[in-house]
Structure 1
Amino acid sequence: MAASLASTPTPHLGVVIVTYNAADVIADCLRALQAATDVVLHVVVVDNASSDQTNAVVRDTIGPTLLSPAQAGAAGIALIKAGVNGGFAAGVNLGLARLARAPEIDRFWLLNPDCITQPDTPRTLAMYRQDDPQIGLIAHRVVYADNPEMIQIDGGTIDRRTGITHNINQFADRTAPVPKESQIEFVTGASLIATRAFYETAGPMAEEYFLYYEEVDWALRRGPLRIAYCPEAVVLHKAGSAIGSQRMGSVASPFSQYFKHRARAMFLRKNFPPGLIGGMFWSLAKAGQLVLQGHGPEARALLRGYFGLAPPASVLAALSPEARERIGR
């Protein structure tokens, strides 16, 4: 991970991977990072109290090179056990705080454990427009791992009337033209580059969302910094593997529906209060559509989330006591 090129100095890149019951995907993610070339990676795996074999898989995959939490700012891979499932942002913030202590790290990569990268991608992202101090976030092409020729997201946009977010170029062919940077309003938390300048401007992610919309909210706090797009970087994402998010040809799980639309209402209330009315009508219409399609549990979860009601019993059962406390249940 630390080989250098003669023409340019070897860049350092901090990587935060938040895991929760990711035993089936984390090994592939870490092996891909271990194969990275011409870059020094400082990887922190923050585990949100997984109940499966995630921690054992991380240790087995890394072997003797695994660093201790105290060495989290060092080059290599460290495992930090959060102890509780505080949600995605809480895990991210723990990892970023550790990495930020290393002054040689100027860029931080938030990467889902179900993502796979090519060997040259980390260096590409670490070096892209490195001389531009106005860059806060860097988007890039994320494609579906089970169909690498299909785009999942090229960056996202926000409908302030409803709080609905849209994936730019979703389901388009991988050869589609890249978006204009001025179109991009946020970068997916599945694979996101944040500069140190952005982290110092925006601060840590908002932890009250628990799941979804953290990165959307974060992007709005970038101040004068811009969102850039790196056309050379492509990341494969096994979308929906962790919490049942929507995939092509499928409906998001009740768990995903509840937390996504709960977070959408929170996001609107915080950033665009007038959109709560439009968001309500959108939610009612979408729930009706789901019911007509035979997805009653998903519809109920969506509405309970948006209107701030307790999660359905099936969703609540999937949460630890600590996670329930985090969301006020």
Structure 2
Amino acid sequence: MAHCLAALSAASPSPGFDIFICENGGLPAFQALVQRVIQEEICRAAVEEARGEAAPDPFVAIRRLELVLRRSKVTIGCANENLGYAGGVNAWLRPLMGCEGWKGVWILNPDAEPAGDALGALVARAEAGGKGMVGSTILEAGSEEVVRFRGGLQWRKLSARSVAIGLGERLGAPVDLPAIERAMDSPSGASMYVTRRCVDQIGLMDESYFLFFEDLDWGVRAKKLGLGYASASVVAHRRGTTTGSAGRSAALSRLAVYLLHRNAIHFVRRHYPWTLPLRIIMSIAYAFRFVLNRAPRNGVAALEGMTAGIRGETGAPSWHRNPS
């Protein structure tokens, strides 16, 4: 998160923005984050900060800071439990819906490092194209030239899986903007700009996913309002550092594998129910692939997640909330 804040502090002066952070990792992680950004002189205490002020639900503590290098307020809230990705987004978006004066919200993963003009490009595409949601150019982890996403995701119904648009392309390669925007089913959750009009019409993120697929679900719901791609909005992303979902098959966390396969069932049942048998077959195939790649525990996690999805389980898994 500190790297993300440092990148935001170097952003272009316009458009202006304030920052709201939901710390899902508990009070020690919250205190460590506040201490780090102050010690590294990324943030300082806000002039109007009232220490000990009552924290709004669902937070148990908040700190009001400001960036050192620009006039942007930074409000960090410590969640009362791990709210998941959508829950963390909604924890601040919900009260903001009662405020006037903002045109859109830029949702960033804490391990994202946007270029200085990334937000300006997102806003420009939303306004010029009349788009409800706009995605960025997300770079592959550890690379400054290789693309992970151009805008976001496409859901392929006949294989019941998502694909990253532009995966593996060079950053400077020619871009067919109309084709990319036609293909998009959602911006990538690593960097997505959502207009106030869009949130007003489709509502908040769906917290029933807990982790994974909530951005795709939100994007599919927003397609009627237009999905856009701002190629000049470049965001580096340290993929998987917040969920343990990067790297070799055996290195994937049980939670990540479980929820990916559970929530895929949840997603197709809601949006493309006729493809549910295809999705079940896909999860079984992934389970076998885990076994072949010497990651049998994750093969079991894929089947367990698939089964939980068929049963209709949503939210944080009970074994994750109350680990034995």
TM-score after normalising by structure 2: 0.81
Bigger Cα displacement from structure 2, 197-206 vs 52-61: 52-61
Alpha-carbon distance between aligned partners in 1 of 2:210 and 2:303, rounded to the nearest angstrom = 17
Assess, with a 3 A threshold, how the Cα gap between structure 1 residues 116 and 226 changes in structure 2: closer, same or farther: same
The aligned counterpart of 2:107 is 110
Q: Is residue 12 of structure 2 the alignment partner of residue 37 of structure 1?
A: yes
Q: Could you tell me which of 36, 40, 46 is aligned with 1:65?
A: 46
> Which deviations, in whole Å up to 9, do the C-alpha atoms of 1:240-262 show, x marking residues without a partner?
11112234898633221111111
The aligned counterpart of 2:160 is 163
Aligned pairs (5 A) from 1:132-281? 132=129, 134-154=130-150, 155-179=152-176, 180=179, 181-222=181-222, 224-247=224-247, 252-281=252-281
Q: Is residue 80 of structure 2 the alignment partner of residue 87 of structure 1?
A: no
> Which deviations, in whole Å up to 9, do the C-alpha atoms of 1:111-161 show, x marking residues without a partner?
0000001222223323334254x3111012100241121111111100224
The answer as to whether partners of 1:125 and 1:233 remain within 8 angstroms in 2 is yes
The aligned counterpart of 2:23 is 47
Number of corresponding residues? 292
Alpha-carbon distance between aligned partners in 1 of 2:9 and 2:104, rounded to the nearest angstrom = 18
Identity rate of aligned residues, in percent?
Answer: 25
Alpha-carbon distance between aligned partners in 1 of 2:204 and 2:294, rounded to the nearest angstrom = 40
The answer as to whether partners of 1:161 and 1:276 remain within 8 angstroms in 2 is no
Q: Could you tell me which of 97, 104, 124 is aligned with 2:121?
A: 124
> Which deviations, in whole Å up to 9, do the C-alpha atoms of 1:14-47 show, x marking residues without a partner?
xxxxxxxxxxxx1111111112222311110011
Q: Find the residue that maps to 1:45 and give its secondary structure.
A: strand
The answer as to whether partners of 2:198 and 2:222 remain within 8 angstroms in 1 is yes
Assess, with a 3 A threshold, how the Cα gap between structure 1 residues 316 and 292 changes in structure 2: closer, same or farther: farther
| AA aligned opposite 1:240 | G
The answer as to whether partners of 1:163 and 1:265 remain within 8 angstroms in 2 is no
The answer as to whether partners of 1:38 and 1:123 remain within 8 angstroms in 2 is no
List gaps (5 residues or longer) in structure 2.
Answer: 38-42, 57-63, 66-70
| AA aligned opposite 1:147 | S
Q: Find the residue that maps to 1:36 and give its secondary structure.
A: coil
| AA aligned opposite 2:175 | V
More helix by share: 2
> Which deviations, in whole Å up to 9, do the C-alpha atoms of 1:183-240 show, x marking residues without a partner?
1111111111111111011101111111101011111212631111111110000001
Q: RMSD of aligned C-alpha atoms?
A: 2.8
List gaps (5 residues or longer) in structure 1.
Answer: 1-25
TM-score after normalising by structure 1: 0.80
